[in-house]
Amino acid sequence: MDTFLKHSAVYIDKNKTTSSHHKLISEEPLKIIIQNRLYSIIMRTPGDELPLAAGFCLSEGVVDKPDDIKSLSFSNKSDGNKVNLLLNKSRRNEISQVFEKFSLSSQKEFNISYSHIIRTHCQVICPVEKDNIKLDFTNALYRLENLSSIQPLRKSTRSSHAAALYSSDFELLSISEDVGRHNALDKTIGKLFLDNTLCKACLLILSSRINCELVQKAAMAGIPVILAISRPTSNAVKLASLLNITIACLAEKSGLYVFCGKSRLV
């Protein structure tokens, strides 16, 4: 399947009406099958299905390290697109309650206590421990302001989200685009997770706002700093503070608004 398709449109302004063709980003369902049981259906842009599934399963607490995965495969047969994941026996025993699925993304009420969730639920989210990470402010801001320059799908469709991961010395480790901001992040995390290089990731750049689900995914991946184009939600700031994550967004003119974890930006 293609990441984008051409569609016709009618352009109207005050003086004329004309027809034109435009590239629109694709969106297709993907089934996540774990231990031969349907776990989730994700609407995503085709491509990078295995990293997407791996990153998604990491954020859900299904896997903790690449060795937890016995096999991972993608199929696009007539019965639909699906990724099949089998866990090693030791991991299956560790998360026997995995199908009593819980994640912050499934919560309907955001007034609940996130500290209570972190303490008591089966999916334990540990605070990020990388307090020694110090990132140069100017270099970090440059990466955020120029994110669109490394988004080929956005250039074609003007509608994709992106997530980029950098090392502490600003080496680009991974970038992904998708119709969904959560999928873009799962894909870019999943690439490094499957390569067993996720430990190098220190800076996450997002094209979207920061919400609780994205903070959760970053925490599960051990990423200490998140910069985004748009402002975070209030609960994202609360959760990031609990999980020792720095979050900031682009200011109106130039610079950043840092909402928590300012000490990591120097």
Write down the mean pLDDT value for the chain. 86
Bigger pLDDT: 200 vs 80:
200
pLDDT computed for residue 202 by the predictor = 98
d(CA 174, CA 131): 22
35-64 average pLDDT score: 94
What global pTM score does this model have? Answer: 0.85
- Residue 73 zone, left/alpha/beta (φ > 0; ψ -120 to 50; rest): beta
Is the pLDDT at 10 greater than 80, yes or no?
no
160: its two tokens: 């994709």
**Confidence at 158, pLDDT banded by 50, 70, 90:** confident
**Confidence at 225, pLDDT banded by 50, 70, 90:** very high
205: its two tokens: 């750049």
Q: How many CB atoms lie within 10 A of CB 236?
A: 25
d(CA 157, CA 160): 7
Is the pLDDT at 118 greater than 60, yes or no?
no
**Confidence at 130, pLDDT banded by 50, 70, 90:** confident
Q: Residues 6 or more apart from 105 whose CB is under 8 A from it?
A: 182, 212, 213, 216
Bigger pLDDT: 257 vs 111:
257
pLDDT computed for residue 13 by the predictor = 66
* 56: amino acid identity, one letter: F
d(CA 204, CA 262): 15
Domains, the chain, with CATH or none: 137-264 (3.40.140.10)
Is the pLDDT at 203 greater than 70, yes or no?
yes
122-150 average pLDDT score: 88
d(CA 192, CA 48): 12
Is the pLDDT at 102 greater than 90, yes or no?
no
